[in-house]
Amino acid sequence: MAIVNRTPDSFYDQGATFAFERAWRRVEEVVAEGADIVDVGGVKAGAGEPVSQAEEIDRTAGLVSAIRERYPHVVVSVDTYRAGTADALCRAGADLINDTWAGSDPEVAAVAAEHGAGLVCSHTGGMRPRTLPHRVSYDDVVADVLATTVALAERAVGLGVPSQSIVIDPTHDFGKNTYHSLELTRRLDELVATGWPVLVSLSRKDFVGETLDLPVSERLAGTLAATAVSAWHGARVFRAHDVAATRQVLDMVASIRGDRPPAAPLRGLA
């Protein structure tokens, strides 16, 4: 799942794909690099300038439509917590609603059901959209994530979202400190054991930076290490800024697991 944000204040690229032309160029790049899903966002996840629903739709609908027309084989995902935005973008051609704020707008799941779209069910520990965690605590963070995401998935099925189109996301960093995110990565197999496909959004996040004491620009190696661990545990979807590197890691893990043959096995055979 490649990240393409039409925001001027993204924590990673600081607006590098805010302009439509740059966003489209990035879409072309990530598809060529092996992205199966393109995730389009119009509002920065963290604290920042307010963005109205109308502005969010204006930033994202044209890009969603263009991807849908140019790349019919690519799954188009939209990163939004607003039902009105989700509805507009599904009408524009989105296949998947990436609700990173854990159903803060309960109508998002109903929108997914109405359009036959997929839904990402996430966990934020009850935090409201675009807020930062402060001294959060859990008796068992994995148990809390399991209870929340599975309940949201089951609610979505009850509303009519196809069960095969639902993904759960432990949502690293959101409503969590670095220790929580590390524990979730270490115990990710417990989420996989639910039977719901698991998405991880690890790319250059603060838990990577705080673990290694590195700025955003230097967090790729740590991100890829967390990606490899998550893949080994059975995660299915990987939201990433660095698509080519992530694809190589996933292919390597799949080959070690025996799920993918080597691409060019000649050593000792020729």
CATH architecture for segment(s) 2-257: Alpha-Beta Barrel (3.20)
The mean per-residue pLDDT over the stretch 135-157 comes to 98
Long-range (24+ apart) CB contacts under 8 A made by 184-189 are 184/141, 184/142, 184/145, 185/226, 185/229, 185/230, 186/229, 187/142, 188/229, 188/230, 188/233, 188/234, 188/235, 189/233, 189/234
Q: 165: helix, coil or strand?
A: helix
H/E element holding 143?
helix 141-159
User: Which pTM was predicted?
Assistant: 0.95
67: CB partners within 8 A, 6+ apart? 27, 38, 40, 74, 76, 93
d(C-alpha 77, C-alpha 99), whole Å: 10
Cβ atoms within 10 Å, residue 56:
23
Per the CB < 8 A criterion, the answer to whether 80 and 154 are in contact is no
Q: What is the per-residue pLDDT across 196-232, written as a single tens digit (0 to 9) for each?
A: 999 999 999 999 999 999 999 999 999 999 999 999 9
Q: Is the pLDDT of residue 47 over 90?
A: no
Helical packing angle, 141-159 and 107-115, nearest 10°: 50
19: CB partners within 8 A, 6+ apart? none
Q: What is the per-residue pLDDT across 70-88, written as a single tens digit (0 to 9) for each?
A: 999 999 999 999 999 999 9
Q: Is the pLDDT of residue 48 over 90?
A: no
Domain ranges of the chain: 2-257
- Amino acid at position 31, single letter: V
For the annotated catalytic residues, the residue numbers are 205, 239
| Neighbouring-strand partners of residue 5 | 41
What is the torsional sign of CA 44, 106, 151, 165? negative
d(C-alpha 18, C-alpha 190), whole Å: 37
